[in-house]
Amino acid sequence: MELFVQLVVTGVMLGSIFALVALGWVLIYKCSGVLNLAMGELTMIGGYVCLAFYQRFVTFMPLGYAFFFALVGTIFVGLILGLVTERLFLRKMIGEPILAVIMVTVGLSFFFKGMVFIIWDTDTQVFAPRVFSIEPMVVAGIAVGEVYFWSFIAAMILMVIFVSFFKYTRWGLSMQACADDEMAALSLGVSAKFVYALAWAIAFMAAGVGGTLLGNINGLNYSVSMLGLLVLPVVVFGGLNSVPGAIVGGITIGILQNLTGGYLDYYFPGGIKEIAPFIFMVIFLLFKPYGLWGWERIERV
């Protein structure tokens, strides 16, 4: 029972990172209808950029500050990269068939992956010196790794910031309007191009932070992009265009992944932990193709 509670708690904390990345994915889909398969690579880029900043900063400032400023720098780089990517590649694909748009994001993922490995090599890199201590924190008898705890806090803070950004700011409202009915939003003076650019920038920023946190947990290598790809089961579970769905889905997938890792690994040795969300997704799709809160699309000839 203790193991169960511990797995669930760690799962919630891991899942909050997935939820953060999934939020960026859902945003792009809601605003511009692009199904983004490059999310894993965006996550990986974020991790590597943050590592580069951190290694530079840590030479002349205390550990905590260095990490904080590295994170801020990652968010800033994510903003720039998001705007550039959208402007160069995705804007030209508005209104193209679904396969073409998806394959552009696949092309982006190849490009980014190749670039990351050309610049930073494929060996596992860790944040050294460690940002978070290796000693677990014990709260009410449950041991939780410090890195998980702070990831959870950071992901929650960012999610609150993003959600309140949609709800209360002018830009966020125009994004909501565009997602709801693009034609109506355009006729009311909302600039669709601006909204698309903003959506990509936010997705890059969210994925960058997610990648940094994931990189702090296990070290940075290609598997971070595999973890970033877990965003796909998350959004399928929650519904493609639902922000609450992304958050609930992320936490669910995090718990599911940890539970399968904890209990089933004994019976199915090997990579069951990474694959379980995808198996779950296929079975879930058969019963509820539109996820928990996704919009059901009615087709006419």
Residues of the shown chain interacting with other proteins in the complex, contacts defined by CB under 8 A: 35, 37, 89, 92-93, 96, 98-100, 102-104, 106-115, 117-118, 232-233, 236, 240, 268-272, 274-275, 278-279, 281-282, 285-286, 289, 299-301
The least CB distance from residue 299 to other proteins, in Å, is 6
The least CB distance from residue 69 to other proteins, in Å, is 29
Give exposure, 177-213, as e/b (b: 16+ Cβ within 10 Å): bbbeebeebeeeebebeebbbbbbbbbbbbbbbbbbb
The closest alpha carbon to 202, from 161, 170, 245, 250, belongs to 161
**CA dist 156 to 38, 150, 228, Å?**
23, 10, 18
The answer to whether 6 and 142 have CB atoms below 8 angstroms apart is yes
Q: Which is nearer to other proteins, 145 or 238 (CB)?
A: 238
Q: Which is nearer to other proteins, 112 or 162 (CB)?
A: 112
Q: Which is nearer to other proteins, 76 or 273 (CB)?
A: 273
The least CB distance from residue 89 to other proteins, in Å, is 6
Give exposure, 97-118, as e/b (b: 16+ Cβ within 10 Å): eeeebbebbeebbeebbeebee
Give the number of other CB atoms < 10 A from CB of residue 136.
16
The least CB distance from residue 122 to other proteins, in Å, is 8
Please report the beta strands in the chain, taking only residues with DSSP state E, as ranges in sequence order: 137-139, 142-144
Q: Which is nearer to other proteins, 25 or 57 (CB)?
A: 25
The answer to whether 40 and 229 have CB atoms below 8 angstroms apart is yes
Q: How many residues does the chain have?
A: 301
The least CB distance from residue 189 to other proteins, in Å, is 29
Q: Which is nearer to other proteins, 95 or 189 (CB)?
A: 95
Q: Which is nearer to other proteins, 31 or 185 (CB)?
A: 31
The least CB distance from residue 101 to other proteins, in Å, is 8
